[in-house]
Amino acid sequence: MNDQLPTTSPFDGEPAEHRGQRALVTGASSGIGAATARRLAHEGYEVVLVARRRERLVALAEEIGEWSKAPVSIEQCDITDPEQVTSLRTAVGGGLHLLVNNAGGAVGQEPLAEADFEAWETMFASNVFGTARVTQALLPALEAAHGTIVFVTSTAAEAPYEGGAGYCGAKSAERAMVGSLRLEIVDRPVRVCEVSPGMVHTEEFSLTRFHGDQAKADAVYAGVAEPLVADDIADCITWMATRPTHVNIDRLVVRPRAQAANHKVHREG
C-alpha cells in the first residue's frame, strides 16, 4: 500500500454509504474525470474508472479505496478502439446507473489554413466516435437501471473561436449527439444531460492541446485569478446525477467568473 495516498475523503463530511448504484467515468485517469470519480465515490456510488493509462487508474482506485464505503474498480479501455469498447460492454454487464462521457480533449489550435488534420482525426475519434460508441454500447445497461448519461462537452460548442475549427467542430458534433439522443429515447427511462465547461485549469488539457509546451499551456490561464478547477465540474456532474430521476438537467454552461464569454477573459496584471 502506498502511504502517500490520502486515507480520508478530500470532501467535507463522511463519505455516504454505498447507495447501491454504479457509475462509470471515461477519461478517469486525470482532470475532470478523476475529480468526478472522487466526488461520485464520496456520494456512495460504486465507481468504474475507465481510461487508457492503467497505472493511473490503479493509483486512483487505491486512493479512493482508502476512504470510500463503496467498491471502486478499473477497466482499461481506449474508447477509440471498437473492440475495446465491446470488451468494456461485456465487463460492465447489466445495470449501470450513471455514465459520465468525459474522455476527449483538444489537440492543436491552428487556424484552418494551417490545420493538421491528423489532430482533427484524433479529436473526432475520441470526442465524437468514441463517445458515441461507448454510449451505444452501454445504453442497454443504463436503460435496465433507469440510468443517467452526462456528456462533458465544452464552451467550444457555444461559439467558434479562432484556431478552434477542429475542437469547436468536434464538441459541436458531440453536442448534436446529446440532443439527438435525448429526442430518440424520450420514451425510455434514461436521462440525457450535458455539462459545458469553460476555462478549467487541469493538469493536462492545455498541455495536450499545445503538444506538451508548458509555457503555452500556462499562458492560457495567465492572470486569471480563479479559473475553474476539475472539482468544480465534478461537483456539477454529481449535482445533475443526484437530482430526482424525473428531473433532466439538459445542459449546464459553467465558466469561471472572470470568463464572461469564450473571448472575454479578465486577466489581472
CB 181 within 8 A of CB 192: yes
Which is closer to ligand 8X3, CB of 26 or CB of 154?
Answer: 154
Q: Per rule CB under 6 A, is residue 102 in the interface with ligand 8X3?
A: no
- Written as nine digits, the cell of 102 is 468525459
- Written as nine digits, the cell of 207 is 498541455
Binding residues with ligand 8X3: total (CB under 6 A): 6
Query: Stretches 59-67, 140-148, 151-159, 244-252: which one binds ligand 8X3 (CB under 6 A)?
Result: 151-159
Q: Per rule CB under 6 A, is residue 256 in the interface with ligand 8X3?
A: no
Which is closer to ligand 8X3, CB of 59 or CB of 253?
Answer: 253
Binding map of ligand 8X3 across residues 182-201, x = CB under 6 A, - = no contact:
---------------xx---
Q: Assess whether 167 carries a catalytic annotation.
A: yes
**What's the CA gap between 101 and 269, in Å, rounded?**
37
Assign 264 to helix, strand or coil.
strand
Q: Per rule CB under 6 A, is residue 104 in the interface with ligand 8X3?
A: no
Query: Stretches 8-16, 39-47, 115-123, 148-156: which one binds ligand 8X3 (CB under 6 A)?
Result: 148-156
Q: Per rule CB under 6 A, is residue 154 in the interface with ligand 8X3?
A: yes
- Written as nine digits, the cell of 134 is 461507448
To ligand 8X3, the closest distance from the beta carbon of 168 in angstroms equals: 7
CB 141 within 8 A of CB 93: yes
* DSSP-assigned beta bridge partners for residue 197: 254
Q: Per rule CB under 6 A, is residue 15 in the interface with ligand 8X3?
A: no
List binders of ligand 8X3 among 155-174 (CB under 6 A): 155-156
Q: What is the distance of C-alpha 229 from the center of its chain? A: 13
Give the strand pairing for 259-261 and 264-265: antiparallel
- Residue by residue, DSSP assigns 220-258 as HTTT-S--B-HHHHHHHHHHHHTS-TT----EEEE--TT
Give the binding site for ligand 8X3 (CB under 6 A).
154-156, 197-198, 262
Residues with catalytic function:
167
